[in-house]
């Protein structure tokens, strides 16, 4: 019996995750359909994608780019929408089966909520959604019986290790990190790190913001918070492990001391495809690992004196309330300032720490509180810079 195609909306289609997701759809045209594509600014690439995949609708968040996109696609029967509100609306389409949330940062929160409330399965690549409002997102997921399938390679690995282990208690999660390009740099050397150096990740090909977060270990701090919500564990039960080879994507240790790991090449298309096809594993032409070519696996403890952002993440989730939201907004502003070469590499952590101390704390935040916190924190961080 022929399987029905799964209609997928890709939020952030022009980014690193979005373009690789479209690669998956190209490989499995009999299984997946790009029903809706949304991007923030890259109207040229979005138009090119629309011409290739012929989605039902495309959305450009930047409303000033609407006419340019409309003109580029005026010979095709594709609906063209614009604005952040339009992205929240497009995911409600009854024909959509799954929404890949791959927008960068806080912007992914409201569309993800809209998709969950509409009963869509979520392929989650926007970790900030759970960092900012994990409790709210997981409650909505439960209320609407919506699965959240992780796309991050680490969380996909944990998810795969936990398959069939529902009744077995987790002792701890071992969350692996490459350590980034500066894991052996001294503090003095870190003060001189340039934007170009920071954007040169040794193993992964990612967008600019995620690459910077990876180098500062903020990305790993966010992933720890994400793991806490996805797998219902305490933050103290998530241990970050530096694994420079990036072959073991994460591990789970059970109460009988057994440790299960998921291995593979550092290729984001693997977890994307698994999220799209779950629970089925589709055949692919991705490069496989040859264990005989791997000389050794090494593991190190992270140095939180040099990379303070990881400590900030643990502090934020232990504090709770809107503190992770404060952390996220402060980090977005700090990373943006570094990429614009307004501040130095280590100054990003200074901005984050001081902003966390100054921002208004809310113990039991609502969605409106999260939105107000994000606005307030960005203003505080920008004034500091």
Whether residues 174 and 123 fall in one domain? no
How do strand 248-254 and strand 259-263 relate by DSSP bridges? Answer: antiparallel
pLDDT at 295: 76
| Residue 275 falls inside a structural domain | no
Look up the CATH number of the domain holding residue 78.
Answer: 3.40.50.720
| Residue 170 falls inside a structural domain | yes
Report the distance separating Cα 103 and Cα 62, nearest Å: 13
Q: Which tokens in the block code for residue 225?
A: 């918070």
Domain boundary among 309, 343, 364: 309
Domain count within the chain: 3
Whether residues 238 and 331 fall in one domain? no
| Residue 285 falls inside a structural domain | no
| Residue 254 falls inside a structural domain | yes
101 bridge partner residues: 11, 124
Q: 209-229: string of b/e by CB count within 10 Å (b at 16+)?
A: bbbbbbbbbbbbbbbbbbbbb
| Residue 274 falls inside a structural domain | no
| Residue 277 falls inside a structural domain | no
Among candidate residues 1, 306, 299, 27, the one with its CA nearest the CA of residue 175: 299
Whether residues 301 and 171 fall in one domain? yes
Q: Which tokens in the block code for residue 284?
A: 């692919």
Whether residues 325 and 203 fall in one domain? no
| Residue 165 falls inside a structural domain | yes
Whether residues 63 and 92 fall in one domain? yes
Whether residues 130 and 222 fall in one domain? no
Q: Are 360 and 347 in contact (CB under 8 A)?
A: no
Report the distance separating Cα 39 and Cα 48, nearest Å: 12
Q: What is the pLDDT along the chain (385 residues), one digit of tens a residue?
A: 556 899 999 999 999 999 999 999 999 999 999 999 999 999 999 999 999 999 999 999 999 999 999 999 999 999 999 999 999 999 999 999 999 999 877 888 999 999 999 999 999 998 889 999 999 999 999 999 999 999 999 999 999 999 999 889 999 999 999 988 899 999 999 999 999 888 876 665 667 888 899 999 999 999 999 999 999 999 999 999 999 999 999 999 999 999 999 999 999 999 999 999 999 999 998 999 988 888 789 999 999 999 999 999 999 999 999 999 999 999 999 999 999 999 999 999 999 999 999 999 999 999 999 999 999 999 999 999 8
How do strand 98-101 and strand 79-82 relate by DSSP bridges? Answer: unpaired
Whether residues 81 and 190 fall in one domain? no
Among candidate residues 24, 30, 80, the one with its CA nearest the CA of residue 50: 80
Domain boundary among 259, 280, 309: 309
| Residue 195 falls inside a structural domain | yes
Whether residues 37 and 94 fall in one domain? yes
Look at the alpha carbons of 323, 316, 219, 270 in this order and tell me if their dihedral is positive or negative.
Answer: negative
Whether residues 229 and 368 fall in one domain? no
Whether residues 169 and 137 fall in one domain? no
Whether residues 188 and 136 fall in one domain? no
Look up the CATH number of the domain holding residue 376.
Answer: 1.10.1740.10
Whether residues 113 and 180 fall in one domain? no
- Identify the domain containing residue 109 by its residue range: 6-150
Phi–psi pair at 81, nearest 5 degrees: -120, 165
Domain boundary among 309, 337, 366: 309
Q: Are 287 and 263 in contact (CB under 8 A)?
A: no
């Amino acid at each position: 019996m022929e399987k029905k195609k799964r209609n997928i909306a890709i939020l952030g289609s022009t980014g690193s995750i979005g373009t690789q997701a479209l690669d998956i759809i190209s490989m499995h045209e009999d299984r997946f359909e790009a029903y809706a594509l949304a991007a923030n600014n890259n109207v040229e690439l979005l138009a090119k994608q629309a011409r290739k995949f012929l989605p039902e609708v495309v959305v450009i968040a930047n409303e000033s780019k609407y006419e340019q996109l409309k003109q580029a696609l005026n010979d095709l029967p594709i609906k063209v929408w614009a604005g952040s509100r339009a992205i929240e609306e497009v995911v409600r389409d009854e024909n959509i089966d799954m929404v890949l949330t791959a927008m960068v940062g806080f912007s992914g929160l409201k569309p993800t909520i809209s998709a969950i409330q509409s009963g869509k399965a979520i392929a989650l690549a926007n970790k900030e959604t759970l960092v900012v409002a994990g409790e709210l997102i997981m409650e909505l997921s439960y209320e609407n019986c919506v699965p959240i399938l992780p796309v991050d390679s680490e969380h996909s690995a944990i998810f795969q290790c936990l398959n069939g282990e529902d009744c077995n208690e987790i002792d701890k999660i071992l969350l692996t990190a490459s350590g980034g390009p500066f894991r052996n740099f001294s503090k003095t050397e870190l003060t001189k790190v340039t934007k170009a150096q920071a954007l040169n990740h040794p193993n992964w090909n990612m967008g600019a913001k995620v690459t910077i977060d990876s180098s500062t270990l903020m990305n790993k701090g966010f992933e720890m918070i994400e793991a806490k919500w996805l797998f219902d564990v305490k933050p103290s039960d998530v241990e970050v492990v530096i694994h420079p080879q990036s072959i073991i994507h994460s591990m789970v240790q059970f109460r009988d001391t057994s440790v299960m790991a998921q291995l593979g090449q550092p290729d984001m298309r693997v977890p994307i495809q698994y999220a799209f096809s779950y629970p089925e594993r589709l055949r692919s032409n991705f490069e496989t690992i040859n264990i005989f070519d791997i000389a050794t696996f090494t593991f190190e403890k992270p140095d939180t004196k040099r990379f303070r952002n990881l400590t900030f993440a643990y502090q934020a989730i232990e504090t709770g309330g809107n503190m992770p939201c404060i952390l996220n907004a402060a980090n977005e502003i700090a990373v943006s300032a570094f990429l614009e070469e307004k501040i130095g590499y280590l100054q990003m952590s200074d901005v984050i720490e001081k902003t966390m101390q100054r921002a208004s704390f809310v113990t039991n935040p609502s969605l409106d509180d999260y939105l107000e916190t994000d606005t307030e924190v960005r203003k505080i961080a920008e004034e500091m810079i």
